[in-house]
Chains A and B, each alone.
Chain A
């Protein structure tokens, strides 16, 4: 009994002593990152639509417009304009006089970066965007391109493998094995256009990939959302100040 009390007293004394001598304190910080774009001249934002292509498993134009609108509604001070998502690919085809009937197996017109380049001229057409701006009372316009493509690669991956130890117990460990992988790549380029002048104010491109073992069946839409999740903070930081959480050491 006495020994127990003595031990408790000793540990308490040690803890108090340690606290007294403590010369550093870990503290949580939230470092503010300034918005990339000054959006104070705008009260409204129009997520117009995107030139898109790649996989036929999802419609990157509609999905991207929907996702960005919902994010901006909750995470920015701008009023998000509700409108039909613009079909920019059709608009460019109309201009070129190459309107195509939908192919029987829904093959997208834009399959890769090279196809996409031919459609990007619309972003330089200030008059076109000025007209769109006038239609929606001079908002900030968000547009750009989104390429969502299927990817197949081979490489080393960590796989859990089981083994029976000397006591006959099944255990698991990670082993690096060569594997065939498949998944998706997302390459969006966001363009921020001044609805009053039609000029591009800022643009930023991203590239993200997710790969899975070839025998794993992962839906395209869930991979799309997973990929967008990783680049949304940077997208939102274009319009509003974001805070980066971390820890630092304060010293005495």
Chain B
């Protein structure tokens, strides 16, 4: 019984791990492409790539961070806030994500204070 369970677990792992690795590697490719086009100031295309990356691998903190930056640049502040929050949730000790979020929050809070007036 124990051996069977162990075998089943090993089988699940053996099939799931390569699939996960594939998804992460596809997501990485999307993130890299997004960076490339963002550096050429093509932010809409960059956002599309990073959205695809987060769909492929929702646990990829860097993709969520970049998506936050992209949304911010396009003026989609509520989406940016959610993306940064997700990035920080996945990688709470990353100082660069925190720094990006802090700078964004300054602008976001200012805009919202106005809206509330």
Contacts and interface: CB of A to CB of B under 8 A. Distances in A.
Interface of A: 23-25, 27, 29-34, 36, 244, 246, 248-252
Contact of A252 (B32, B73, B99): B32
B31 interface: yes
Contacts of B107: 31, 33, 244
Contact of B75 (A23, A27, A32, A36): A32
Nearest to B32: A252
Given A33-B111, A246-B103, A251-B96, A27 B39 contact: yes
25 contacts: A23-B62, A27-B39, A30-B73, A31-B72, A31-B75, A31-B104, A31-B107, A32-B75, A33-B111, A34-B75, A36-B114, A244-B107, A246-B103, A248-B100, A248-B103, A248-B104, A249-B97, A250-B34, A250-B38, A250-B69, A251-B62, A251-B65, A252-B32, A252-B35, A252-B62
Interface in B5-41: 28, 31-32, 34-35, 38-39
B66 interface: yes
B38 A27 contact: yes
Main secondary structure of the interface of A (DSSP, over half): strand
Interface of B: 28, 31-32, 34-35, 38-39, 61-62, 65-66, 69, 72-73, 75, 94, 96-97, 99-100, 103-104, 107, 110-111, 114
Contacts of A33: 107, 110-111
Nearest to A36: B114
Nearest to B69: A248
A202 B38 CA distance: 37
A105 B32 CA distance: 70
A246 B61 CA distance: 22
Nearest to A244: B107
Contact of B66 (A30, A32, A36, A250): A250
Contacts of A251: 31, 61-62, 65-66, 94, 96-97
Given A24-B96, A27-B38, A252 B28 contact: yes
Nearest to B35: A250
Contacts of A29: 69, 72-73
Contacts of A23: 62
Nearest to B46: A250
A48 to B, nearest CB: 23
Nearest to A202: B117
A251 B32 CA distance: 9
A250 B87 CA distance: 12
A2 to B, nearest CB: 38
Contact of A249 (B32, B34, B99): B99
Most buried by B among A24, A30, A252: A252
Contacts of B96: 24, 249, 251
B75 A25 contact: no
A23 B96 CA distance: 11
A47 to B, nearest CB: 22
Closest 8 CB pairs of A and B: A251-B62, A249-B96, A32-B75, A248-B69, A248-B100, A250-B35, A250-B66, A251-B65
Contacts of A31: 72-73, 75, 104, 107
